[in-house]
A and B are shown apart, each in its own frame.
Chain A
Amino acid sequence: MDTASLVRRGPCEWEIPAQGKMKVPVLIYGSQSLVRDMDEKAREQAVNVACLPGIVRASYVMPDAHWGYGFPIGGVAAFDAQQGGVISAGGVGFDVSCGVRCLHTGLTLGDIHPVQHRLADALFAGVPAGMGSRGTIRLNQSQMHDMLSGGARWAIEQGWGTPSDLERIEERGQVLHAKPGFVSDLAKKRQREEMGTLGSGNHYLEVQEVTDIFDASTAQAFGLRQGDIVVMIHCGSRGLGHQIGTEYLRLMAESAPAHGIVLPDRELACAPLGSELGQRYLGAMRAAINCALANRQILTHLVRQIFAQVCPKAQMPLLYDVSHNTCKMEVHRVDGKARELFVHRKGATRAYGPGHPDLPDSLRSAGQPVLIGGSMGTSSYVLAGTQQSESLAFSSACHGAGRAMSRHEALRHWEGRQVVGELAAEGILVRSPSPRGVAEEAPGAYKDVAAVVDAADEAGLARKVARVRPRICIKG
């Protein structure tokens, strides 16, 4: 992106002033080098989002943004239903509520080192990963309905977790007002064998070591110490979410003219929040969020069972669970007034600051944990929401590193077994059913997550708390 064409508002804040059909400006957060490396397509998409009806304040771009579908990946936009605002299937994406959760283990590297190969093998054997893998849970029609309404709360009621997990999940593990009746039979059919599965692509399960603490008091509030072992799980709403995204994207694209919406890009497909289609999608998308929360909860249960066998000392409370691809109704102050807004985060993390009423007591003074996933050979980060995040970008931060090269280019550079060998030499055990998948996800194919996290910290979107490094990676 040509930074000369942007108005620089601060070291890590850039603006494209509203012009032409834009209803609001575009605000981009990132260092000069990150913004310079962003593709022009991301800029074009952020400008398109700024043209949508009912958008409030700005179309935001996070430091890890890149060319997406309609919205840029790393795009944030809030809409007001009272002002003709829209909800966009393209602004949520195919993998509804794809996200990351982090579990404590109560263990240190010294505890897992003697059993790390056994642990890696047990996790690989016990957690279904990769295309075609199946879970052991089969839901009948009424159970499917309950899961789509109840999310992680439902999963815990089935015995897959403890009630204390719920306060460490956005929306206490259950998005209200989900409408399973607006989820198609095909979407439910695709999910029938996929509960408790990791998926593929950039989804993973990692055992990680806390290598650096940047903010000692917040780390203490989060229960993180240098040398601790944690587990991160990255996955989403599986086939059900993909099918909902596919179906509503088409319905919204086809009905846009009838709603008086001119789409500069079909992928921006949206419908007024007040329309029947907008409400149907909202209900279905909320059901998909619950599906993702239930799925990550079941995976958590599997991981806890495996640790109990291999590392019986492990104590595994949940640090936090964040979602990346969502549209959520939230109350934000705009020009001094509290307003109900529908905040789309496409490849972006919610980052509530200290004191936010939706945070549990145990996190209220520290702020919300913001989990940033890296690639399988590089670090991931734990950040915390800031006081100013709400005014900067409706309490949003980045979500990950983002790819630096395409899958094809990665295949030209690496071979799966070679990547596994190189990472093993660095003390990182990789287990995956697909060598080609590992090559496509090679660490070198991703951008430098540290630069993204530093920019989020400097911009004030979130503050750095800890860095973690993978020791075991289960890749789908």
Chain B
Amino acid sequence: MNTASPAPVAKMAERKTEPEASRSYALPRGRWEHFDHGADIGVRGYGATKAAAFEQAALALTAVVTDPDLVMAQETVRISCASDDEELLLAAWLNAIVSEMSARRMLFGRFHVELHDGRLSATASGERLSVRRHQPAVEVKGATYTSLRVACTADGGWMAQTVVDV
């Protein structure tokens, strides 16, 4: 069983995304992955900055439901949340996306996050859920505080992770 270790576990779900790669050649590229938790799924994002890691964690969240590449950016939603605790801020961010997915019946495939003094301002772009096209595997009930961690990585980037209840 996986613990809070940042070591990659499930490489099958790994993706690389272009916007992160284009930010800086020298900085670590953004990517996300899932890790195992008994009944549920861990989501983990890596990025050159903390904000980028939050964006990647959000992509990992979408990937619990469907392949993020299947989601077209037709509509953009603004999301903001705040916490003095950067880990609670990550959970609040992921939970805000869960709420928006549920209340708007949308999926999101592109995220832009800005962080300033414990405040998160973001946009999430996506489209209405299509059961036929997205074939959603499971609905996310919420982002938990289990294995919740935001930390620097050895390569100078950031990692953001938690377990989501499905």
Contacts and interface: CB of A to CB of B under 8 A. Distances in A.
B95 interface: yes
Given A93-B165, A200-B139, A435-B135, A267 B145 contact: yes
Main secondary structure on B side of the interface with A: mixed
Contact of A239 (B39, B102, B131, B166): B102
B103 A130 contact: no
B39 A403 contact: yes
Interface stretch (A150-158, A218-226, A407-415): A407-415
B57 interface: no
A41 B165 CA distance: 16
A316 interface: no
Interface stretch (A9-17, A243-251, A283-291, A329-337): A243-251
B137 A254 contact: no
Interface in A66-87: 66-70, 73
A440 B138 contact: yes
A151 to B, nearest CB: 20
B141 interface: yes
A253 B88 contact: yes
B123 interface: no
B34 interface: yes
User: Which of A132, A243, A411 has the most chain B CB atoms inside 10 A of its CB?
Assistant: A132
Contact of B98 (A193, A246, A269, A433): A246
Q: How large is the interface on A (under 10, 10 to 19, 20 to 34, 35 or more residues)?
A: 35 or more
Interface string B5-19: 000001011000000
A66 B141 contact: no
Interface residues of B, number: 40
A433 B95 CA distance: 25
Interface string A238-272: 01001101100110011000000000011101000
B145 A69 contact: yes
Given A242-B142, A408-B36, A433 B99 contact: no
Contacts of A406: 36-39, 41
A94 B129 contact: no
Contact of A67 (B13, B37, B103): B37
User: Which of B38, B131, B143 has the most chain A CB atoms inside 10 A of its CB?
Assistant: B38
A144 to B, nearest CB: 14
17 contacts: A66-B38, A94-B142, A130-B131, A131-B131, A132-B130, A133-B131, A200-B139, A201-B166, A242-B98, A242-B141, A267-B144, A267-B145, A269-B145, A408-B34, A408-B41, A412-B12, A476-B139
Interface of A: 39, 41, 66-70, 73, 93-95, 130-134, 186, 189-190, 193, 199-201, 239, 242-243, 245-246, 249-250, 253-254, 265-267, 269, 402-403, 406-409, 411-412, 433-437, 440, 476
